[in-house]
Structure 1
Amino acid sequence: MDLYEKISEDIKEAMKARDKVRLMTLRNIKKVFLEAKTAPGANDTLGDAAAMKILQKLAKQGKETAATYTQANRQDLADEELAQVKVIEGYLPQPLSEEEIEKAVKDIIAQTGATSMKEMGKVMGVASRQLAGKADGGTISRIVKELLA
């Protein structure tokens, strides 16, 4: 069962459980998935890798929106947004710890033979592909800078 089908099944379960937050979040995810499937050049398919990228994007947007609400002293809206983010994160793989990211980046630096900050782009390109979905780009970038400095 791919991620799209899993979301559809979970919508039914959320309806039965009368879980409004989960239902609303899952319907939004399915809407975005459908838009991606019907986009020009998508051939009416949506692979799990593309679906994961969409989920990561939605989670990131939700966190940013919640931060904006918090700055505007609207904690009620921020809490609602964070509840939706929690549902989305349930479908994402567990993120790597700082130590695991650092180990992976050290291996990538060894593979690429990078020795200075001038080669950060080369390391980031490989690291971004290998750690996609498992680590935040900002965290990867910070660790690469620390190790190459």
Structure 2
Amino acid sequence: MSETLKERLSAEMKRCMKAKEKERLAVVRSLQAAIKQVEIDSQKTLEDEAEVLAILDKAMKQRKDSHQQYIDADRPDLAEQEAFEMSVIQDFMPQPLSEDEINALIDQAMADTGASSMQEMGKVMGLLKPQMQGRADMGEVSKLIKAKLS
């Protein structure tokens, strides 16, 4: 059985400590802290990979937003730091889906739900989100679904 994301993060933290990679260690620790915070808030241990992946996906989105803001504010030093953090987070994310794979999953979900109008978009998104979490930009997926339903 392959190791879970939480186990991979823990192993990476230990590896970074031994290798004295302070910058990478700080990012890994921040990811672990985010997971721990959700566990404390929800008062349960996150066992489901999708839940942990959702936290990593949220962290990635935050870094992307910050990166863009720093670029817009002409702060290349801070933008570079955000880019580094995104690269570390990306190491733990699953392989992204190709455009063909995304379209195939959308078509399958639309067939499964029988969606034919915009009112049924929620059903399609609900079915796709667990399959695509962390592997595709859900905003772009939403646009593709809207195009197919209209």
Report what 1:41 is aligned to. Answer: 43
**Which structure 1 segments of 5+ residues have no match?**
none
Structure 1, residues 89-128: CA drift from partner, whole Å, max 9, x if none? 1111011112211111011111122222232222222222
Provide the residue aligned with 1:70 in structure 2. 71
Q: 1:5 aligns with which of 4, 7, 19?
A: 7
TM-score using structure 2 length = 0.88
CA deviation after TM superposition for structure 1 residue 40, in Å:
4.3
- Would the alpha carbon gap of residues 146 and 19 (structure 1) be closer, same or farther in structure 2, given more than 3 Å must change? same
Corresponding position of 1:81: 82
Cα 1:122–1:17 change in 2 (3 A) is: same
Cα drift, residue 69 of structure 1? 0.6
Unaligned runs of 5+ in 2: none
2:111 maps to what in 1?
Answer: 110
Matched-pair contact (CA < 8 Å) for 2:106–2:145? yes
Aligned residue pair count: 147
Which structure has more relative contact order (CA 8 Å, sep 6+)? It is 2
17-26 vs 61-70, which moves further? 17-26
The more displaced of 113-122 and 22-31 is 113-122
Check the 8 A contact 2:53/2:134 in 1, yes or no.
yes
Structure 1 length normalisation: TM-score? 0.89
Q: 130-139 or 101-110: which moved more? A: 130-139
Tell me the C-alpha RMSD between the 2 structures: 1.6
Task: Return the offset for 1:57.
Answer: 0.7
1:42-57 to 2 correspondence within 5 Å? 42=44, 45-47=45-47, 48-57=49-58
Match of 2:28 in 1: 26
